[in-house]
Amino acid sequence: MNLGRMVGIIVALVLLFAGAVFFVFRYTFTTGGLREIQTAVGIEAPAPERHIVPEGFRGWLSVDYGVDGMPPLRDEDGTVVFEYPETGRIETSTAAPVSDGLLHKRYFERHGAELVPLSRLSQIWGEYSLRAFEDDGSSSRSFGFFVGTMGEFRASERPLPGLIPLKR
């Protein structure tokens, strides 16, 4: 067997193993279950998040954390709930999470009383987490993302300078 063929087989096996691990973690564990595993091994895990966008919404959504006088985010059985209004912007007195991550966020579109899951592979784009420092030493945190097709995302006006779509 030549070297090129052996390398090809090894690469294929590694990719197969990585895909299997991803599948197990993505579809076997709930968000809460992943948090329990992270906590058990000593990793500080953020609370699970449920982001709910209005029916038919297309565009940028954002959350500004730690805004004085604004209501806190809702907590449902340990899951932080972000219910976006038609404007797509939430201002909350809730402090920003200590750490960010992808596995603890779930996205839904509201259809009446029903929540329909949104796909991170075809409907959620441009996620960002921002910390801005002011001259007086204070800072603010925000998080945002785009809901729509890749074409809509590419054509959209960016909410932040320098936030550009990746070429895929």
| Residues 92-150: tens digit of each pLDDT | 999 888 766 666 789 999 999 999 999 988 899 988 888 877 777 777 888 999 999 99
Phi-psi region of 104 (alpha: psi -120 to 50; beta: other; left: phi over 0): alpha
Does any domain span residue 135?
A: yes
- Rounded CA-CA distance 105/115 in Å is 15
User: How many domains does the chain fold into?
Assistant: 2
**Same domain (yes/no): 19, 91:** no
The range of the structural domain enclosing residue 109 comes to 49-155
**Same domain (yes/no): 31, 82:** no
The token pair at 129 is 């987490």
- Rounded CA-CA distance 18/29 in Å is 16
**Same domain (yes/no): 65, 129:** yes
Does any domain span residue 89?
A: yes
| Residues 19-78: tens digit of each pLDDT | 777 666 555 555 555 556 655 666 666 788 999 999 999 999 999 999 999 999 999 988
Does any domain span residue 16?
A: yes
**Same domain (yes/no): 80, 149:** yes
**Same domain (yes/no): 18, 82:** no
